[in-house]
Amino acid sequence: MRVPCIPYPTTDLTGIEEQIVQRIATRRAEHGLLPLDLVLLHAPEIANGGCDTTRPRKARGENFLAIQYEMTKNINPTDETFENLRSVCGFSNQEIVELTATVSAYNFAS
């Protein structure tokens, strides 16, 4: 990877950042943190985006797949896709930016 993994475990994390790391580690269970997690943790709020379980799963899943597909295949998602993220998922502009950055990071890593 062109962006190095953060050293882990590390003592340089704030309390909130450590909570994010613990949430991700819990989600990963016995596999532990993945190299991608350790890269995304350079921006803990971006890494944290994958842990959002507050939205209805089906609505999140369908709209996540739409933006992921469009960003991977066409680079530019449609206005309709962004509107669905707002109206169906209830995402704020900040959350849309974070989701877009996360998808970009996964595309970058693959």
Say if residue 54's pLDDT is above 70.
no
State the pLDDT confidence band at 57, using cuts at 50, 70 and 90.
Answer: low
* H-helix segments, the chain: 15-28, 35-40, 44-48, 57-73, 79-87, 93-109
Q: Extract the tokens encoding 31.
A: 């596999």
Terminal-residue alpha carbon distance, the chain: 10
CA dist 31 and 49 (Å) reads 19
Share of the chain above pLDDT 90, in %: 0
pLDDT at 91: 81
Residue with tokens 């939205």: 55
For 11-30, how does the pLDDT look when each residue is reduced to its tens digit (9 = 90+)?
777 888 888 888 888 888 88
Domain ranges of the chain: 15-51, 57-109
Write down the pTM of the prediction: 0.49
